[in-house]
Amino acid sequence: MAMSTQREVDEAEIRQLVDKIVEGVQGKDLEGLRRLYATDIVSFDIEPPLQHVGVEAKLANWAPVFTFFDRVRYEVRDLTLTVGDDMAFGHAFARLSGTLKNGTATSGMWARVTYCLQKIDGTWSIAHDQVSVPLDVASGKGVVDLEP
């Protein structure tokens, strides 16, 4: 059996971290999510303001999702990673969907996600993320009906 390189081990750990984001969102587990982000994360999330600084601000952006939805589904597709010794970045498509508190099912929308990760004391954390949708320049509105 071939030995895994450190790069392969790191990539597997980062993929597990992204899987834990999915589990944390679907389980409405803010404390579980907290462990995945760097304390000083800067997040360019899809909702205003322009940036969310620090893990508390990042979690405060997830919290309304958990009150809005009765059941949450979160999918990450086509995760592509570039991994260095203690820094890594990746990009993927993600979709938040589920059943709202009023019983309405929603298929959500696909967004683009970029992750920047840092290995601190042997553990990978998300130091920066950006979530976006394409912009229709003429109308100034986000385009939310695209599929990967």
Q: How far apart are CA 128 and CA 3, in angstroms?
A: 31
| Weakly modelled stretches of the chain, pLDDT under 50 | none
Total domains, the chain: 1
- At 117 the pLDDT is 98
Domain of residue 128 covers 6-135
Q: What is the CATH number of the domain that holds 30?
A: 3.10.450.50
Whether residue 63 is contained in a domain is answered as yes
129 in any annotated domain: yes
As a whole number of angstroms, the distance between CA 23 and CA 46 comes to 20
Residue 148, domain member (yes or no): no
User: Does residue 46 form part of some domain?
Assistant: yes
How many Cα atoms are found within 13 Å in the side-chain-facing hemisphere of 34? Answer: 7
Q: What is the pLDDT of residue 1?
A: 62
Establish if 140 belongs to a structural domain: no
Instruction: Please check whether residue 73 lies inside any domain of the structure.
Output: yes
> Is the residue at 103 inside a domain?
yes
Whether 104 maps to a domain, the answer reads yes
Q: In this predicted structure, what is the pLDDT of residue 3?
A: 73
pLDDT at 4: 84
Quick check: 24 and 36 in contact, CB under 8 A? yes
For residue 108, the model assigns a pLDDT of 93
Partners of residue 120 on adjacent β-strands:
123
Look at strands 123-132 and 37-44 and give their pairing. parallel
Q: How far apart are CA 71 and CA 67, in angstroms?
A: 10
